[in-house]
Amino acid sequence: MKSLLPRSMTLAALALWCSQAQAETLQTGKDVEAPTAKWEGVALGFEPPQPGLLGDMLGIRPILEDHGFHYNLGYLSQLSYNAGGGYNHDKQASYIDQFSLTFSQDLQALTGIPDAAIEGNIVNRNHDNNLTRDRLQDPRVGLTDLSQESFGGQSITRLGWLTFSRSFLEQRLQWRIGMMNKVQDFDQIIPCDFQTLTLCGGKSANSLTWYNWNVHYWGTTLQYKLTDGLTLKGGVMEQNPSAPSRSHAWSWSTKGSKGFLLPMELELKTHAVNQLPGVYNLGVLFTNARQSDLYEGVSGGPGASDPQGYRNHDRTWFLYTGFNQQVTRHADDVNRGLSVFYSLGLGDQRSNYLHWSTSTGIRYRGLFDARPDDWLGLGVSVVKLSDRYKDNQRYLNQMSGISDYHDPNYRPVPGHSVTAELYYRVNVTPWLQLQPGLQYWHHPAGVSETQDAWVTALKTVVTF
């Protein structure tokens, strides 16, 4: 389903992107005093790249890096099992996986252009197994969450992005252009480590007008450092509903574009709270691409019975914000400790059935001395459905004369949904992570008639 596309990046791949695209090295020093330390996000969930399973690949990797080519090749799988409850009580274990290659080629040595680079991403996704669609929620309403956030609806290999970037003004201004994705620049203060979608990263994808990670669209962006910690970001991108389709996987075409997106974001990296690293953002996304109203017709009444159909809007918006803050640190290791996060997305409920969504939670890196690189995570998210979407569902029931929820032609009227997840990630080796988890679903898809559900999960990450 195009509206809820996966956000998944392995933490190693995301850390690689941060270190290269943002030109800010992720530091791992253990004994640096916080007041003078360079900002780094290890304790916030952004792990630096670790040695991979294939090591130096018989000396090939060092040769490539000496010539400015850096890459991360990773594998991710997500398994979910409906242990109890949900819309369909039949048991099912749903499994998906993906391979991802994220790379950059330094061009400065070849061209003399400051910090010039070509950046790319290719993702291979497999299996159309979606526990949320098949078991957890009522299929007569739209999705509000995914038990497996990496589900993409199809087995496919596609280009996530291919862009050129460079810097100006002594690295204070960064410019990027090409077939891009929002994760290269926007809403990247919270990592994607939870397996449920609404706890994975920020909320800007809930705008339903741009798409996550492995989907590309043309655009250009600028980032300007107002201060060492405060960055203003902006851009112009195409709004293309065809971008997630199979035909667009490797396409350079803008066929299907409906308009353009104008994102703007302020991002603050700071040590203001107990001299520990934190990152905060506030963003807004406008689009002039035509969006259909969820209830109102062209003539002003309900669109379902309007001869001219539903009204269209040429200007819609989405607001997002959040923070990710370390609040405690281990006595002898700044990268061990507790962090808290919060995110909020607010949509134009005339055209977006996800009116608002919010998430909060905690992470703890290195809870046990014997396991300093393991992670514990606990999060809760809430999604509130649009009033116009609900009005339209009620009106469709009124038109059909159906009031029985159990009638297959009945249109459920959703309110809000709540999902929670607890996970523990075991760093078995620097290149292998196993993350068992437990999910709780209250009112799946916002339908109160659907029984609350329990889901067991297992996420596996391999870095090559």
SS (H, E, C) 94-149: EEEEEEEEEEEEECHHHHCCCCCEEEEEEEEEECCCCHHHHHHCCCCCCCCCCCCC
Q: What is the pLDDT of residues 302-312, one digit of tens each?
A: 999 999 999 99
Is 160:121 a contact under the CB 8 Å cutoff? yes
Is 448:437 a contact under the CB 8 Å cutoff? no
Spatial distance between the Cα atoms of 309 and 204, rounded to a whole number of angstroms: 29
Q: In the chain, what is the greatest distance between 2 CA atoms, to the nearest angstrom?
A: 71
SS3 at position 169 = coil
SS3 at position 228 = coil
Share of the chain above pLDDT 70, in %: 92
* 406 CB neighbour count, 10 Å cutoff: 6
pLDDT at 26: 32
Q: Burial letters for 167-184: b for 16+ Cβ neighbours within 10 Å, e otherwise?
A: beeeeeebbbbbbbbbbb
Residue 402 pLDDT more than 80?
Answer: yes
Report, as an integer, the average pLDDT of 121-144: 96
pLDDT at 153: 79
Spatial distance between the Cα atoms of 423 and 429, rounded to a whole number of angstroms: 18
CA angle 455, 459, 464 (to 5 degrees): 170
Is 283:266 a contact under the CB 8 Å cutoff? yes
Report DSSP state, residue 242: T
- Cα-based distances in Å from 257 to 136, 292, 352: 33, 15, 19
Alpha helices in 125-260 (DSSP H): 131
Query: Encoding tokens for residue 74?
Result: 């990773």
Spatial distance between the Cα atoms of 102 and 21, rounded to a whole number of angstroms: 11
Q: Provide the Cα torsion 36, 44, 104, 239; round to 10°.
A: -120
Report, as an integer, the average pLDDT of 395-414: 96
Q: What is the pLDDT of residues 151-203, one digit of tens each?
A: 987 899 999 999 999 999 999 999 999 999 999 999 999 999 999 999 999 99
**Residue closest to 214 by CA, chosen among 236, 192, 190, 189:** 192
* Mean model confidence pLDDT for the chain: 91
Residue 139 pLDDT more than 90?
Answer: yes
Q: Is the pTM of this model over 0.85?
A: yes
pLDDT at 23: 35
Spatial distance between the Cα atoms of 311 and 294, rounded to a whole number of angstroms: 8
pLDDT at 444: 98
pLDDT at 33: 37
Q: What is the pLDDT of residues 316-354, one digit of tens each?
A: 999 999 999 999 999 889 999 999 999 999 999 999 999
Spatial distance between the Cα atoms of 352 and 362, rounded to a whole number of angstroms: 29
Residue 18 pLDDT more than 50?
Answer: no
Is 46:24 a contact under the CB 8 Å cutoff? no
Which residue's structure tokens are 């950059």?
104
Report, as an integer, the average pLDDT of 114-135: 96
Q: What is the pLDDT of residues 72-83, one digit of tens each?
A: 999 999 999 999
- pLDDT level of residue 220 (50, 70, 90 thresholds): very high
Share of the chain above pLDDT 90, in %: 88
Q: What is the pLDDT of residues 358-395, one digit of tens each?
A: 999 999 999 999 999 999 999 999 999 999 999 999 99
Q: Provide the Cα torsion 19, 23, 28, 31; round to 10°.
A: -170
Spatial distance between the Cα atoms of 66 and 452, rounded to a whole number of angstroms: 54
In this structure, are strands 451-463 and 156-168 parallel, antiparallel, or unpaired?
unpaired
pLDDT at 154: 83
Spatial distance between the Cα atoms of 282 and 455, rounded to a whole number of angstroms: 33
**Residue closest to 118 by CA, chosen among 61, 46, 184, 26:** 184
Residue 16 pLDDT more than 70?
Answer: no
pLDDT at 37: 63
Dihedral-angle region of residue 391 (phi above 0 means left; psi in -120 to 50 means alpha; beta otherwise): alpha
